[in-house]
Amino acid sequence: MSAIYLHIPFCKQACHYCNFHFSTTLRSKPAMVQAILRELELQRDYLGGATLKSIYFGGGTPSLLDLAELEQIFEKIYALHPVAGDAEITLEANPDDLTLEKLRSLRNHTPVNRLSIGIQSFHDADLQWMNRAHTAEHARACLQDAAATGFQDLTIDLIYGAPSTSDAHWAENVQIALDAGIPHLSCYCLTVEEGTALAHFVRQGRSEPVDEAKAVRQFEYLQDAAAARGYEHYEISNFALPGRYARHNSAYWRGAKYLGVGPSAHSFDGRSRQWNVANNARYLKSMEAGELPAEREQLTTAQRYNEYVMTSLRTMWGCAESQIETFGEPYAGYFREEIRQFMQNGTVEQGEDAAYRLTRSGKVLADQIASALFWVEDAE
């Protein structure tokens, strides 16, 4: 499996909690599209000619691209890479961009076959608190319009744990998504990231910090409600109807190769990771000069082990003992020793297939458990 990720670094306005790379000045959008086309050419050999099984437009807000811009990017990708006939081709979109006209043109004139919609909440109070550009009405309407235009492969993002999100609001958000039969849900706990407006507001006392107990309650509600409707909780933040897993994200979690194009995009070739500069002006300048604005690092065994532990433990497939053994005995021995405390306190269990998985009580502690299992390089 190999994949391409394209980072479209523009948004209409800055959501208060967001720490992704984006600019709210759209002036350089046409130049950015040209630069992305150039980077696709420069990086044409990165995946070694492998057939693409996934193309993913993320950001930022890729639904700000117009049809002509999308067509140019697809034309370039298809000219440079073989693309599987059943490739998953995802566009992240915000509800306010998904007019019927936009949906029809995506459906009829591009190969996009999956929409990832940044709904976040179906309540205006939450959306205003988050500084989202859309309303609750946009959120509901775009789901109906997407279905009406034939988009069956939908995933939506929802955020829980925000001070504005009462348990009743959250329950309603979850039920609306489940009633709509959305096959895939990505639900994130609000986090206060450094450098965001939210972090500033919390420091100033203008916003409450995240209420951890409420966040856990809402996460548990979500797990129960999704399970009752037959969704699989296949990754900490992701729920899918049987077989409707996100192929693109699953590729990341399973260590597949991917090429990331655009400012701040990361790439992985199985052994090394590289990342583009997270600055639109510097990215554009480098592309004009035909130079890749990327840094690269060869992953050490410890980094590969840590990454495997962190990502696999978050999935329902778990952390496989056989895979841990491929890192060599010091790592396997360390893992077996450290995992024992979590087996004893009931936050991790080992299945008949020998894979270690988080239990329900372990799921709320996923990050802490993974970091306790990390190999610290200096100890090597």
Residues at the site binding ligand SF4, with contacts judged by CB under 6 A: 11, 14-15, 18, 20, 22, 59-61, 94, 118
DSSP state for residue 65 in the 8-state scheme: S
Q: If we measure between CA atoms, which residue out of 309, 307, 282 comes closest to residue 293?
A: 282
In the bound state with ligand SF4, the residue whose beta carbon lies nearer, of 26 and 354, is 26
Which region, left, alpha or beta, applies to residue 165 given φ > 0 means left and ψ of -120 to 50 means alpha? Answer: beta
DSSP state for residue 49 in the 8-state scheme: T
- How many Cβ atoms sit within 10 Å of the Cβ of residue 27? 10
Sign, CA torsion 21/295/71/27 = positive
SS3 of 1, please? coil
In the bound state with ligand SF4, the residue whose beta carbon lies nearer, of 118 and 362, is 118
In the bound state with ligand SF4, the residue whose beta carbon lies nearer, of 7 and 233, is 7
Give the separation between CA 32 and CA 149, rounded to whole angstroms. Answer: 29
Closest contact distance (angstroms) between CB of 118 and ligand SF4 is 5
In the bound state with ligand SF4, the residue whose beta carbon lies nearer, of 87 and 199, is 199
Closest contact distance (angstroms) between CB of 144 and ligand SF4 is 21
Closest contact distance (angstroms) between CB of 261 and ligand SF4 is 17
Closest contact distance (angstroms) between CB of 9 and ligand SF4 is 9
Closest contact distance (angstroms) between CB of 315 and ligand SF4 is 24
In the bound state with ligand SF4, the residue whose beta carbon lies nearer, of 114 and 363, is 114
Closest contact distance (angstroms) between CB of 24 and ligand SF4 is 8
Q: If we measure between CA atoms, which residue out of 198, 133, 270, 321 comes closest to residue 313?
A: 321
In the bound state with ligand SF4, the residue whose beta carbon lies nearer, of 132 and 184, is 132
Closest contact distance (angstroms) between CB of 54 and ligand SF4 is 20
Closest contact distance (angstroms) between CB of 343 and ligand SF4 is 37
Contact call for residues 230 and 241 (beta carbons, < 8 A): yes
Structure tokens of 228?
């009752």
Closest contact distance (angstroms) between CB of 307 and ligand SF4 is 24
Burial 285-301 (b: 16+ CB within 10 A, else e): ebbeeeebbbeeeebee
Contact call for residues 144 and 134 (beta carbons, < 8 A): no
Give the separation between CA 343 and CA 354, rounded to whole angstroms. Answer: 13
In the bound state with ligand SF4, the residue whose beta carbon lies nearer, of 142 and 313, is 142
Helices 29-42/67-80 angle, 10° precision? 10
Give the separation between CA 294 and CA 367, rounded to whole angstroms. Answer: 28
Structure tokens of 263?
């400012």
In the bound state with ligand SF4, the residue whose beta carbon lies nearer, of 11 and 139, is 11
Structure tokens of 327?
């890192």
Kind of pairing between the strands at 52-59 and 83-93: parallel
Q: Using alpha carbons only, give the angle 229, 234, 238 rounded to the nearest 5 degrees.
A: 80
